[in-house]
Structure 1
Amino acid sequence: MADVLIAAVFVPSPPLLVPELVGLAASETDDLRHAVLDAARRIGDADEWIVVGAEAGAADVPSDAVGTFRGFGADVRVALAPASGATTGIPDAGMPLTALIAGWLRERTATGARADVHVLAHDTDPAECAQLGKTLRARLDADATRRGLLVVADGAATLTAKAPGAFDERSAAVEESLGAALAAGDPHGLAALDGRVCEEIALGGRAAWQVLAGAFTEPPSEATIEYSAAPYGVGYHVGIWRP
């Protein structure tokens, strides 16, 4: 594989990353926000971001799209490419959260880049995730264009009694396995995530994590973790894999 891929950066997708959406409570997530922004800056000099996330329904969002977080409480507008009219065009209030987070990060860390977003359904078959990862890796390595892979994915949302999905006693062990695989640069550990169990413990990023695994059929040369914790009972991991 050619070493064109700058890095694969993985970040979570909570709207609480955006200060305007959480108001005075923004300080409670400063550590997470700073880690996400710092990680995104590592691929800030890329010409193109290929973004992968997992949500209730599948969608592809082109790089000329603009959107708004209005549905999450504030009209914070984002664009997926430079000079795409985010301030003057009509933003899509239904843009997938994966794309909104990618646009928000791009505008703060990589203003010259374009972001092409692929959203998978939560229940996408692991084999399909692996194949998409391989396909995207071929695209990442295809020519001399400087590209980065941005994976927008959460861990389990059932880690405490007050978590969005309530508490599931199985979630801690699965979350620990996920965090260990990310820290060790272990694509096989990500590929081994059980889709049925992940669905039951509300580990919504499973499909996106397995796309990351498919993009690294060979383990990364370097794996770093910037943040790994569970505020509000949801597992969030921020880090970087380098080819």
Structure 2
Amino acid sequence: MLVAAAVCPCPPLLVPEVAAGAAPEMDAARAACTDALGVLAAARPDLLVVVGPAEQSGRGSFPQGTLGSFRGFGVDMAVRLGPTTGHSVSERELPPSLAVGAWLLERTGWADAPIEGLGVGEPLAPERCTEAGRVIGAKAGRVALLVMGDASACRTVKAPGYLDERAAPFDAEVARALGAADVAAVKALDAELAQELKASGRAPWQVLAGAAEGANLTGALLYEDAPYGVGYVVAAWS
């Protein structure tokens, strides 16, 4: 059963070495992510699953110890999804979202439970996302989720998706739903609208909603802003 979740944004800019001179602009988001991961540790889970958007249309799993890097963003820096276990790990690299999650876990010194990674294709239908979440929630007696994903990328004219007047209301509802641990509202997020607004977090958030069914968790919104015209939300469920 799901006992805790942390929702964090997944831009590589969260990593100071990638952000370089712009690093201070993300300090508040990094601090909020640290607080959210503290909620996960306090829950003492038997298993931590890191979920984030990936390019493929379905789902892809990554065992503990899988490597990721930020070389694609101009920084020769590697991360690992938890310590190696002595078993073979995936030859595939972590997708960028899970690499950022692995960086957050390394940064906070996570050593509290075994880790798995799940990359979720951004077009994955809501019902398939929630079903994946139900499977995750049944994997162990006490499951925690680190859910990586961004809200819209259309908040300003300089945003990656330019300005879309639908973006701010969409992001406000995302922040409200995640901050309140409103499972029904997260399930109800419009997949087509999310895709039009380039919101990479929709599918991972709906995986969380599936895992949280029947868990009766409360939420807290720790951060919500759009420093680069992209909506970033940090929330904790416990």
TM over 0.5: yes
Which consecutive residues of structure 1, in runs of 5 or more, have no partner in the other structure?
86-90
1:1-243 → structure 2 map (5 Å cutoff): 5-44=2-41, 46=45, 48-57=47-56, 58-83=59-84, 94-109=93-108, 110-139=110-139, 142-143=140-141, 146-218=142-214, 220-242=216-238
Count of residues in correspondence between the two structures: 231
- 3-state SS of paired residue (1:42): helix
Cα distance in structure 1, aligned partners of 2:191 and 2:198: 10
1:99 partner amino acid: L
Task: Decide whether the 8 Å contact of 2:2 with 2:212 is kept in 1.
Answer: no
TM-score with structure 2 setting the length: 0.89
Cα distance in structure 2, aligned partners of 1:166 and 1:70: 26
Which consecutive residues of structure 2, in runs of 5 or more, have no partner in the other structure?
none
Cα distance in structure 1, aligned partners of 2:236 and 2:80: 23
Q: Judging changes above 3 Å, is the alpha-carbon distance between structure 1 residues 238 and 92 closer, same or farther for their aligned structure 2 residues?
A: farther
TM-score with structure 1 setting the length: 0.87
Deviation at 1:93, TM superposition (A): 8.6
Deviation by residue 1:117-138 (Cα, 9 ceiling, x = unmatched)? 1111111011101111111111
1:96 partner amino acid: P
What is the identity percentage for the equivalent residue pairs of Structure 1 and Structure 2?
39
Task: Decide whether the 8 Å contact of 2:180 with 2:221 is kept in 1.
Answer: no
Deviation at 1:214, TM superposition (A): 1.0
Deviation at 1:217, TM superposition (A): 2.0
2:80 partner amino acid: A
Q: Judging changes above 3 Å, is the alpha-carbon distance between structure 1 residues 129 and 201 closer, same or farther for their aligned structure 2 residues?
A: same
